[in-house]
Amino acid sequence: MDDALDPILIQVTVPLPIPMIFAAFTDPKQITGWLADAAEVEPKVGGVYRLGWKEPVAFESRGQVREITPDLDIGFSWASPPEFASLMNQPALQTDVYVRLQESPEGIDITLEHRGWGSGAAWEDARSWHFHLWDDRLHRLKDYLLKAAYG
């Protein structure tokens, strides 16, 4: 797969403590404040990472935590929405999401990488849809965290 598509890479910077930001990816109550309508997370390798949406399309991503280092990173497998399921979810989940937190002069850089894309027009469509989802949600995350911290 030499011609596979590049990973989605999106970064936002939030001037808040790392533990507060990390909890937004591991605490279901916080996840439902910015990312999904429902969430179930077992923050350990092999644990469940399930997200459910009603909008923009109703679907559930039943992933699994693949890596986690408290206050540093989390990676989980990704199940795509129905329109991309035959491409991305068969025979096993093809992509995963990796989030890393890192200190920077402006605060904490939150870098999301969605990787594992194939090649071809169908993969380009799937990647584009996911890029817009993650871009929207990471900006929501920044707003959510700032409002939680400062009201």
For the chain, give every domain's residue range.
8-150
Residue 1 banded pLDDT, cuts 50, 70, 90: very low
| pTM recorded for the entire structure | 0.95
Structure tokens at 62: 């039943």
**Looking at residues 51-78, what average pLDDT do you find?**
95
Burial 26-50 (b: 16+ CB within 10 A, else e): beeebbebbbbeebebebeeebebb
Asked whether residue 132 carries a pLDDT value surpassing 90, the answer given is: yes
Of 55, 26, 38, 18, nearest to 149 by C-alpha is: 18
Task: Specify the pLDDT at position 2.
Answer: 61
Task: Specify the pLDDT at position 56.
Answer: 75
Task: Specify the pLDDT at position 43.
Answer: 97
Task: Specify the pLDDT at position 3.
Answer: 85
Provide CB contacts within 8 A for 147, sequence distance 6+: none
Provide CB contacts within 8 A for 18, sequence distance 6+: 71, 72, 101, 103, 108
121-150 and 18-26 helices, crossing angle to 10°: 130
Residue 51 banded pLDDT, cuts 50, 70, 90: very high
CATH of 8-150, one of 3.40.50.720, 3.40.190.10, 3.30.530.20, 2.60.40.420: 3.30.530.20
**Looking at residues 37-50, what average pLDDT do you find?**
98
Task: Specify the pLDDT at position 76.
Answer: 98
The lowest-confidence range among 19-23, 56-60, 95-99, 117-121 is 56-60
Residue 70 CA, distance from chain mean position: 16
Task: Specify the pLDDT at position 126.
Answer: 97
Of 138, 131, 146, nearest to 34 by C-alpha is: 138
Q: Could you tell me the CA-to-CA distances from 20 to 27, 48, 125 in Å, in that order?
A: 10, 21, 34
Q: CA 115, CA 68: separation in Å to the nearest integer?
A: 16
The length of the chain is 151
pLDDT tens per residue across span 71-124: 999 999 999 999 999 999 999 999 999 999 999 999 999 999 999 999 999 999
